Structure 1
Amino acid sequence: MYFDSLKKLQIGNEKQKKAYEAIRKLGIVRDLSAFHPIICGTIPIGIDVEASDLDIVCEVEDFDLFEQMVVHLYKKRKGFRVKRLTVKGIDSVKVNFFWEGLEFELFGQSVPSYLQPAFQHMVIEHYIMGKTPHIRAQVINLKTKGYKTEPAFCKVLELEGDPYEALLQYGKKEGIV
């Protein structure tokens, strides 16, 4: 399934357009092009809430190089921080900072960007809302009550187990990912 989240931002609602302009002005897609960045998360599909950040997944093979680059590019941005972690057995790096009123979260793994769970979840969630539009309001309502996105979708869809894995299994069953 083709999904151009940057294009969705450019032609979307006011917050999406604001995110698009911030991305464009910052030059983050261009500057990180070697890491195949993909904008993902709740903002591109219009289910963000006040505290939602702008997620960008990256394919990172050389974590030292990636860290050096993001430190060079974004260290002066408000709230800048870099954290290395392991997620489900995969070495990862997470970078956060604020710019133009948005929190950016870069997430890198040595996995192609389009195969990373954050991107796949977004594509699945977009598909679900296209198939059953009434779910959008229910998910946003749960998110305003403190639910994370994937658990909110699973609650609405009555999917059991680990919500992150359950959503991926749903996507595989539907032939989305």
Structure 2
Amino acid sequence: MKNKNWKDISYLKFGNFKQRKIYEILINTKILNILNDYTPVLVGTIPIGIDIENSDLDLVCKVDNFEIFKEVLINNFKKYRNFKIAHKEENVLVCNFIVNDIEIEIYGSSDDIDKSNGYRHMIIEDRLLNLYGDDFTKQIISLKDKGLKTEPAFAKVLDLQGNPYEQLLLLEMYSDEELYKIYNK
């Protein structure tokens, strides 16, 4: 299986309807250009094709100076509907707004992008989806349609015990053979 370059959004141009719509939003709003200094990467369910109707567009950014980052967000995105910014933790800032009926969440953190939980969850989820196939994918989407968040849906289908967010990250170190055994008991 070829690894996808998640940092290059061109894969969205050839994806499902929602992925193509997200591509257009990202290009037309110039969000990635505006946030270029913060190494923005699209993460979550949309890149890996398990989004549902109300799934939002999630971007993670690496931030060193939160005051400047906040100014960039306000100056460029306050014009959009439902704009808000919140400090979640000392080194975490979250900005939300709506473009073309899609909620956008920009998550700024002092963590490197590939060490952020959002990115790491997406990578392991994509790996599991590719390893387990269409039936597994349909089960995840079905649970999400019924109101379950993504990580809890994976944990339920895989019968993972404990905190689903932490349990999924533990799977990163497993070989494909070990992962295959978890689902195909």
TM-score normalised by L of structure 1: 0.93
What per-residue deviation string (whole Å, max 9, x for no partner) do you get for residues 98-155 of structure 1?
0122110000110111210101111111110100012110001100111100010011
Q: Which amino acid aligns with 1:113?
A: I
Higher relative contact order, chain-length normalized (CA < 8 Å, sep 6+): 1
Q: Determine which structure has more spread, i.e. the larger CA radius of gyration.
A: 2
| CA deviation after TM superposition for structure 1 residue 2, in Å | 4.3
Tell me the distance in 1 between the aligned counterparts of 2:117 and 2:123: 10
| CA deviation after TM superposition for structure 1 residue 158, in Å | 1.0
Q: Which amino acid aligns with 1:13?
A: N
Q: Which amino acid aligns with 1:112?
A: D
Q: What stretches of structure 2 of length at least 5 have no aligned partner?
A: 177-185
- Partner of residue 46, structure 2: 43
Superposition RMSD in Å: 1.4
- Partner of residue 117, structure 1: 117
Tell me the distance in 2 between the aligned counterparts of 1:123 and 1:153: 13
What per-residue deviation string (whole Å, max 9, x for no partner) do you get for residues 58-106 of structure 1?
00111111000000000010010000012xxx62010000012211000
SS at structure 2 position matched to 1:160: coil
Q: What stretches of structure 1 of length at least 5 have no aligned partner?
A: none
Aligned length: 172
- Partner of residue 96, structure 1: 96
Q: Which amino acid aligns with 2:146?
A: K
- Partner of residue 181, structure 2: none
Q: Which amino acid aligns with 1:81?
A: K
| CA deviation after TM superposition for structure 1 residue 7, in Å | 2.8
Contact 1:3 1:123 in 2 (8 A): no
- Partner of residue 76, structure 1: 79
Tell me the distance in 2 between the aligned counterparts of 1:19 and 1:111: 25
Please say if 1:106 is aligned against 2:109.
Answer: no
SS at structure 2 position matched to 1:57: strand
Tell me the distance in 2 between the aligned counterparts of 1:132 and 1:153: 12
SS at structure 2 position matched to 1:170: helix
Tell me the distance in 2 between the aligned counterparts of 1:146 and 1:166: 20
After superposing on structure 2, the runs of 4+ consecutive aligned residues of structure 1 that deviate more than 2 Å are 1-5, 172-175
Contact 1:92 1:107 in 2 (8 A): yes
- Partner of residue 183, structure 2: none
SS at structure 2 position matched to 1:3: coil
